[in-house]
Amino acid sequence: MLNDSVHTLTHLKAELQRIDVLIQREVRRLQVAGRDPVDTLRGLYVSDSDAEALLARPFGTSLGQTAELDDQEVRAFEQAEQLARQQTKWLVKEARRQGKTSRLLSLTSAFQLDEFEVDALLVCLAPHLDLRYERLYGYLQDDVMRKRPTVNLLLDLLCEPGPGRLLRLASFNDDAPLFRYQLLERLPDSNVTRPSLLSQSVTIDESLVSWLLGGYQAHASLGGYASLEWPQINETDSLLAAEPLTDVVIPGDASSIAVFHGPDEKIQVAGARLVAANMKRPLLVVNLAGVMQQDISSMRALRLALRDARLTGAIPCLMGWESCLVESSPPPALLAELYNYPDLVIVASTTNWQARGIDRVRHLLRVAFPEPSYSQRGALWHFFLREDMAIDPSLEVADLASQFILSASQIRDAVASARDRAFQHGRALNNMDLFVAARSHSSPRLAELARKIVPRYQWDDIVLPPDQRAVLREIISTVRGRPMVLHTWGVGQKLAASAGVTAMFAGPPGTGKTMAAEVIAGELGLDLYKIDLSTVINKYIGETEKNLGRIFDEASSSNAILFFDEADSIFGKRSEVKDSHDRYANIEVSYLLQRMESYDGITILATNLRANLDEAFTRRFQFAIDLPFPDEVERLHIWQTLFPPEVPRADDLNFGLMARRFKFAGGSIRNIIVSAAYLAATNGGIVTMEHLLHGTRRELQKMGRLISDIDLTNS
């Protein structure tokens, strides 16, 4: 709402001149009533004569109102006030003739304030514009420390003498417009625990002062969680949010409340901007969840947001509405506040809430902003990678759209981060920049629920039989071929094929299950998260599913590889159901498999004993790989592959002997090499056979196998 600032200030000045007349009259009344202007202790004690005067005063009147001014003074004050009113009316009329208005009039209209309420605002506003009012209010209230008007002073200034003035106390109730909409605020009194309403000091909010003077700043309680925009229709917002709004008619009045819901709040804000731009109105975006983090109640946060929307004439867009819900529905009092708001409201949340507990007096227009589909993600990547950027010609975004299930705003932010990375390296944007950025913007909180593993191994590092190696390559080919098979060829729609890939890695400890997962992650450029199922299992019914649900929900946008280790802690043969705990364990297993099948990324289940898995469960995996215990030839290859070439080695180092004599899996061989290297670092600096045998002894001890030094050194 735009107002001419010059007229706004002129109008305020004229109104305050009228308030000056009321103050002058009250000062004169006090003088006539006998207040001693030279009494330096006035207000600090109550004398006998003061007590007698208080008892003689009629009920409901103050000292000044007991004074009887002579007729000439009464007429003089009446004429001065009437002249000030006429001057103000002329200014308003002249401004309207010129197509102008003032913010005070806009405020009066927006909150339907009566004359008394407007004057109360003006009295409270005066000290913010001229410090002399602070001293005047101290004089009028018989207390130099009271620099803001009390409710009693407001009644003295604005009401006729007599007990009828007390009827105006209702204007200072919490539900009265002045306080309901936070136009005025009560100040705490450090000297009185629970002061009476009459003795409470009242002030005007500083943000309202700013607005009345022609500016705008959000209420202090809204902090940095409110922003006022004048949106214009633009290509970015249209691409992000136009489609869900295509078939929706949103009236720009109080007949309805627009309920936006979806996983990405930024897309909902883009939709709100489109609505406001089409209506040619400003938009006030308020994050209620952020406001409530400051120990502010949901009702106060809502009222402040709606107050600022009324002041600015903006459409309020209330973000974080889910923080106000109680059992998927807002409290009836909050709903009533929304229903009573005399304009369009946009309520945005991550959940599609329901309205309960109160009669529906407005239409709820629900608009869903879902996650973009594969084709939409591709269009978004292309849009944000448009021609104004320096791009590597070999860039291919189809893999990005397939491998990273990001929202529109995440894609936009990922492209911006990728551009920063390319600029930092002084080159055109390439695939690596985009993949790194896409990973950084996908589910950053997943690391709080699972352990992120940075892939260290490649194909040359893993020792597997040809068949198992071929299955790993097939998993990678399946992931890379998903865009063509599922979307271009339509296999996903016609055959109800899942977009995800499920695999089971079975084998004894140390046979390379985690290493195989790292090879896949490194080859595809995806994040790898390891979840120890033994730590997810909870003895309380339903808690295991909640734990698993949080992991899958957070991973849903990342398309990260989820590697579930220690599956033996949850899997068992379904035929071996002996009690309720066994039956419930099968429910947990079914839930895990169901979530794995519905997950759009890669999920890998690792088990040490495949025999523990029911065949019906095993058939639900797309891929199943048995990682066998390595034979002598494979063990020799593992020794040679894992031993770093940079580590100094003695001539007597005999990997063939180690592979022949000791049947270790790759994990144990790795432990022996690490142990030998540490021992050599402080004992000669060269790894010898003695160091390897020492590491072997320690590894066997961990396995619970005791062996003599003679056995170890016998070739």
CA dihedral (150, 155, 158, 163) in degrees, to 10, reads -170
Give the model's pLDDT for residue 115: 94
Sequence-ordered list of residues with C-beta below 8 angstroms from that of 468, at least 6 positions apart, any chain: 625, 626, 627, 628
Beta bridge partners of 364: 257
- Which of helix, strand or coil describes residue 183? coil
Q: What is the pLDDT of residues 19-72, one digit of tens each?
A: 999 999 988 888 887 765 555 555 555 666 667 666 666 666 665 555 677 778
Are residues 558 and 441 in contact, defined by beta-carbon separation less than 8 angstroms? Answer: no
Give the model's pLDDT for residue 319: 95
| Domain boundaries defined on the chain | 5-212, 220-368, 374-442, 459-626, 632-713
- Which of helix, strand or coil describes residue 682? coil
The contacts found for 543-550 with CB under 8 angstroms, 24 or more apart, are: 544/570, 544/588, 544/591, 545/587, 545/588, 545/591, 548/588, 548/591, 548/592, 548/595, 549/595, 550/449
- 542 compared with 216, residue with greater pLDDT: 216
Q: Which CATH code is given to the segment(s) 459-626? A: 3.40.50.300
Are residues 458 and 522 in contact, defined by beta-carbon separation less than 8 angstroms? Answer: yes
With 60 as the cut, is the pLDDT of residue 394 above it? yes
- Strand 561-565 vs strand 528-532: parallel, antiparallel, or unpaired? parallel
Query: In the structure encoding, which two tokens stand for residue 702, read together?
Result: 């961990």
Q: What is the pLDDT of residues 597-653, one digit of tens each?
A: 888 889 999 988 777 677 777 888 899 998 888 889 989 999 998 899 899 999 888
Evaluate whether 459-626 and 632-713 have a shared fold.
no
E strands, 491-629, in order: 501-506, 528-532, 561-565, 602-607, 623-626
Beta bridge partners of 255: none
Are residues 438 and 414 in contact, defined by beta-carbon separation less than 8 angstroms? Answer: yes
204 φ, ψ (degrees, to nearest 5)? -95, 145
CATH level 2 (architecture), domain 220-368: 3-Layer(aba) Sandwich (3.40)
With 80 as the cut, is the pLDDT of residue 355 above it? yes
Q: What is the pLDDT of residues 430-464, one digit of tens each?
A: 888 888 888 888 766 777 788 888 888 888 888 88
Mean pLDDT of 562-586: 63
Mean pLDDT of 549-554: 85
Are residues 103 and 214 in contact, defined by beta-carbon separation less than 8 angstroms? Answer: yes
- % residues pLDDT > 90 (the chain): 34
Residues in the chain, how many? 715
Are residues 318 and 345 in contact, defined by beta-carbon separation less than 8 angstroms? Answer: yes
CA dihedral (648, 654, 656, 662) in degrees, to 10, reads -100
Query: In the structure encoding, which two tokens stand for residue 329, read together?
Result: 């529905």
Q: What is the pLDDT of residues 495-515, one digit of tens each?
A: 555 668 999 998 888 888 999
CA 355 – CA 139 distance, rounded (Å): 53
Q: Which CATH code is given to the segment(s) 374-442? A: 1.10.8.60
Q: Could you give the angle at the alpha carbon of 423 between the alpha carbons of 421 and 425, nearest 5°?
A: 75
202 φ, ψ (degrees, to nearest 5)? -125, 140
E strands, 385-496, in order: 451-453
Give the model's pLDDT for residue 677: 92
Sequence-ordered list of residues with C-beta below 8 angstroms from that of 380, at least 6 positions apart, any chain: 239, 372, 408, 411, 412
Query: In the structure encoding, which two tokens stand for residue 546, read together?
Result: 């909640």
User: pTM higher than 0.75, yes or no?
Assistant: no
**Domain range 632-713, CATH class:** mainly alpha
